[in-house]
Structures are given as structure tokens and as C-alpha cells.
């Protein structure tokens, strides 16, 4: 399992072939780390890609063309080795293709590319999905990056179109027994778009914010001049830290897709926020992480 490094005058990133996963984001010169380092005491990952599903399936199954399939939560790409297909001074591009094993649980031929590009204090991450079938392809894809923070002192700032969001956000709630979406919706109160973190926020799993309520989230860490700003073009996103662990990180997760609702029909084509590609089409989504002062 190889790892690849990109660096400029401001940042250095380290990306693994396994899952094309971003493993480290540090300040150049000082080595100050911003990514959680996959401590299995809390969570054994750092920034996995979620493909070809985001979240879990109702009753752990889906139906396509009258055939029933099973997929693990968040899909399989995060646990597969990608090929590095492009490398330059400021860019890495990884690629994953379907295999005999993936076709048994996900009956689509695909090409998934994950690109990393450095530009000053910002790293941009791009997902590109290509339909290589003779028919329509259905999928979801999302990000799951974990950033170092203190859930007892630090804050999140939610913005949309460059302005702070309103004082109240709405979050869907996970049914903990199934890992699927319940009918419950809660209000997340902020002060001018600023939310003070607390471990209890995640007692019912992730916050799920639909309908483009924000397009950036900035992590403000107490007594730290460096802020972490995550910007995205996704229609929904999750905010997560493991429940009842007071973990030293929070995940800001841009999603193009999400888990099923409790009682969902299982029909793949009917999954909410799912994506559809016609023959020869491709799908592109980008998010960025910027270290700002």
C-alpha cells in the first residue's frame, strides 16, 4: 500500500492508494496536522470515499432488474486499491474500475476517478464517475473527511453563497437500530450561523442537512488561528463524530446521496438523492478544504 505526497509553500498532503484516501493535511514547514489520524479507539479511518452508496440500505439490500443485491454501508470503494494514473507537482489522480467481485454486488461497469489538487492554502478533491455500461447506471457518492477538533470548545460556521445561514438549521435523524433515516427532524439552533459543538450533538448519529442549507462549513478551533473551511457543491451534507465517545474530531461530509429511509421499497432507481447516468455520460463533484486565518 503506497502513499503519495503533494506539497507547496503552504500545505502538504499525503494520499494512500488504498481507497485513494487523504491520510494527512499539514502546514508546510511546521508539520501541523489538520486530519484525524485513524485511531481505531474512535474510528479507524481518516477520509474515505463513499461509493457506490452513501450510508446504509434498508434491511441491507436493494433491488435492480428484479434481482436482490447486498452492499455494505457506504459501499466498497473505500476498501479497494486505486491506481495512480496521473501525478504532477500540484496534482494526483487515482482511478478505480469495476471487477468481477464488484459486479456480483453492484451490477454496473464504472470508472471512478478521485483527484487532488493543491492551490496555495487549499486542496480541491474531485470525484468523477463514468458510466461504462450499455444501459443506465445508478449510484451515490460522498466524502467523509475527519478534521481534528475539540467537541467541547470548538465551533462550526455555516455559510451559503458567502453569507451566514439563518439561526436555525434542520437536520434529519437516523434510526439507530437500522442505520436508516427516520421521520424525525430536529432544529439545530445557531447564533448567526455559528454552532458551538458539544459531544451530545451526535448521540443520534450524524446530523443530516438536506436541501442545500449551506455550501461551506468552517471549523473554528479555540486558541488556534488556523481555521478549516470545507466548501462543496453537493445537495446535502453530514456532520458527524462517533456517538458517546467525545472523539477528537468532527467530519464534514459533502454527499451526493444518502442512506435509505426506514421502510424504503429497496428499488435502486427510487433511492432519494441517487444519481443517474445515461450511456457514455459522466458525473463530476468537487469539494475543497482551505486552511485560512
Write out pLDDT tens, residues 65-100.
999 999 999 999 999 999 999 999 999 999 999 999
- The candidate with the shortest Cα–Cα distance to 272, out of 256, 254, 253, 252, is 256
Grade residue 1 by pLDDT with cuts at 50, 70 and 90: confident
DSSP notation for 161-219: TTEEPPSEEEEEEEETTTTEEEEEEEEEE-BTTEEE--GGGGTTS-EEE-TT--SEEEE
Is there a contact between 21 and 78 (Cβ–Cβ < 8 Å)?
Answer: yes
Q: Taking residues 247-264, what's their average pLDDT? A: 98
Asked if CATH classification 2.40.50.110 holds for the domain at 3-292, the reply, yes or no, is: no
pLDDT at 227: 97
Q: What are phi and psi of 58, to 5 degrees?
A: -60, 125
Q: Taking residues 170-186, what's their average pLDDT? A: 96
Q: Which three cell numbers stand for residue 219?
A: 471549523
279: left (phi over 0), alpha (psi -120 to 50) or beta: beta
Grade residue 167 by pLDDT with cuts at 50, 70 and 90: confident
Domain ranges of the chain: 3-292
Burial class (CB in 10 A: 0-12, 13-18, 19+), 106: buried
Is there a contact between 139 and 252 (Cβ–Cβ < 8 Å)?
Answer: no
Give the pTM.
Answer: 0.97
- H-helix segments, the chain: 100-105
Is there a contact between 228 and 33 (Cβ–Cβ < 8 Å)?
Answer: no
Tell me the C-alpha distance between 230 and 219, whole Å.
8
Write out pLDDT tens, residues 21-42.
999 999 998 999 999 999 999 9
Question: Is the model's pLDDT at 201 over the cut of 90?
Answer: yes
pLDDT at 266: 98
Amino acid at each position: 500500500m503506497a502513499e503519495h505526497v503533494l506539497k507547496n509553500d503552504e500545505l502538504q498532503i499525503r494520499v494512500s492508494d488504498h481507497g485513494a484516501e487523504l491520510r494527512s493535511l499539514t502546514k508546510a514547514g511546521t508539520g501541523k496536522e489538520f486530519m484525524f489520524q485513524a485511531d481505531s479507539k474512535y474510528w479507524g479511518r481518516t477520509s474515505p470515499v463513499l461509493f457506490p452508496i452513501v450510508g446504509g440500505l434498508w434491511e441491507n439490500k436493494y433491488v435492480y432488474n428484479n434481482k436482490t443485491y447486498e452492499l455494505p454501508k457506504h459501499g466498497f470503494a473505500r476498501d479497494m486499491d486505486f491506481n495512480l494514473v496521473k501525478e504532477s507537482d500540484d496534482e494526483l489522480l487515482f482511478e478505480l474500475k469495476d471487477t468481477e467481485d464488484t459486479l456480483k454486488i453492484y451490477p454496473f461497469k464504472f470508472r471512478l476517478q478521485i483527484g487532488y489538487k493543491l492551490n496555495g492554502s487549499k486542496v480541491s478533491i474531485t470525484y468523477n464517475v463514468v458510466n461504462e455500461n450499455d444501459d443506465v447506471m445508478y449510484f451515490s457518492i460522498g466524502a467523509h473527511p475527519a478534521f481534528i477538533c475539540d467537541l467541547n470548545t470548538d465551533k462550526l460556521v455555516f455559510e451559503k453563497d458567502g453569507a451566514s445561514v439563518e439561526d436555525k438549521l434542520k437536520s434529519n435523524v437516523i434510526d439507530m437500530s437500522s442505520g436508516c433515516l427516520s421521520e424525525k427532524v430536529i432544529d439545530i439552533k445557531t447564533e448567526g450561523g455559528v454552532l458551538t459543538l458539544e459531544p451530545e450533538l451526535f448521540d443520534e448519529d450524524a446530523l443530516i442537512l438536506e436541501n442545500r442549507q449551506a455550501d461551506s462549513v468552517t471549523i473554528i478551533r479555540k486558541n488556534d488561528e488556523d481555521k478549516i473551511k470545507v466548501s462543496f457543491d453537493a445537495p446535502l451534507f453530514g456532520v458527524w463524530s462517533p456517538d458517546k465517545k467525545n472523539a477528537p474530531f468532527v467530519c464534514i461530509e459533502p454527499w451526493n446521496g444518502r442512506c435509505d429511509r426506514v421502510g424504503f421499497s429497496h428499488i435502486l432507481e427510487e433511492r432519494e438523492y441517487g444519481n443517474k447516468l445515461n450511456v457514455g455520460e459522466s458525473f463530476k463533484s468537487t469539494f475543497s478544504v482551505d486552511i485560512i486565518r
